């Protein structure tokens, strides 16, 4: 089944393709479908709300079922920040490196045992008749003392998972097997299959 996917992030799209293809779902961007998607303001206060806002806008614009993911990093020592504001954490126009630098600065002096965090991903699919299918996935970890690894994107180089490597030091398959996005999408695919029965 083909689903319009509401993302402008090519690395996130690659993860979505990797995880969804074996589950029988082919994500297609607005550009690929010939309908470039408008930018959507993420005004929600939860991951679920923002995933819905992006998927609903893409479905309305294309007239096709559309799926979106909204994700972010919740750091315990920062009372769950940056959370839903992970993309805007270092301001408009900031880079992944700027966001990592800001987070490491905020956590300066915080010992390893208090640097616990989790990545969260909410997935929402909206159908033209208004029905929705949603799922949520999480992955626990610790914020490392400095960036490590060259793969992945976003906060991957400072998110240390069980076993001691960062997301950016895992192979794609290793990340997908444990990641917040992998967990959310596997659950989503199962719910979608039930929904389509």
Say how many residues touch ligand IMP, by CB under 6 A. Answer: 15
156 binds ligand IMP (CB under 6 A): yes
Is 103 a binding residue for ligand IMP by CB under 6 A? The answer is: no
Place of tokens 């991951």: 47
Choose, by CB under 6 A, the member of 16, 58, 67, 167 that binds ligand IMP: 167
Angle between helices 10-20 and 180-196 (to 10 degrees): 50
Sign of CA dihedral 106, 179, 183, 42: positive
Question: How many angstroms separate the CA atoms of 184 and 82, rounded?
Answer: 20
In 3D space, the residue among 135, 12, 108, 121 whose CA is nearest the CA of residue 73 turns out to be: 121
Q: Which is nearer to ligand IMP, 30 or 152 (CB)?
A: 152
Taking the least distance from each CB to ligand IMP, the nearer of 29 and 71 is 71
Sign of the CA dihedral running 55, 59, 61, 64: positive
* Residue number, nearest CB to ligand IMP: 154
The answer to whether 166 and 160 have CB atoms below 8 angstroms apart is yes
70 is catalytic: yes
The answer to whether 189 contacts ligand IMP (rule: CB under 6 A) is no
71 binds ligand IMP, rule: CB under 6 A: yes
Catalytic positions: 70
Q: Which residues make up the interface to ligand IMP (CB under 6 A)?
A: 9, 70-72, 86-87, 99, 152-156, 167, 179, 181
């Amino acid at each position: 089944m083909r689903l319009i996917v509401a993302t402008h992030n090519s690395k996130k799209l690659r993860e979505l393709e990797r995880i969804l293809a074996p589950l029988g779902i082919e994500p297609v961007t607005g550009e690929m479908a010939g309908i470039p998607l408008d930018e959507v303001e993420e005004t929600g206060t939860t991951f679920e709300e923002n995933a819905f806002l992006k998927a609903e806008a893409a479905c309305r614009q294309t007239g096709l079922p559309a799926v979106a993911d909204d994700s972010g990093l919740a750091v315990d020592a920062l009372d769950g920040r940056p959370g839903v504001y992970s993309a805007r954490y270092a301001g408009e126009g900031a880079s992944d490196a700027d966001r990592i630098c800001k987070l490491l600065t905020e956590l300066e002096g915080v010992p390893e045992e208090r640097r616990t965090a989790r990545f969260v991903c909410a997935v929402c699919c909206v159908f033209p008749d208004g029905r929705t299918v949603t799922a949520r996935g999480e992955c626990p970890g610790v914020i490392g003392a400095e960036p490590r690894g060259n793969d992945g994107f976003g906060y991957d180089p400072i998110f240390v998972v069980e076993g001691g490597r960062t997301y950016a030091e895992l192979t794609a398959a290793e990340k997908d097997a444990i990641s917040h996005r992998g967990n959310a999408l596997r659950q989503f695919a199962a719910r979608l299959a039930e929904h389509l029965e």
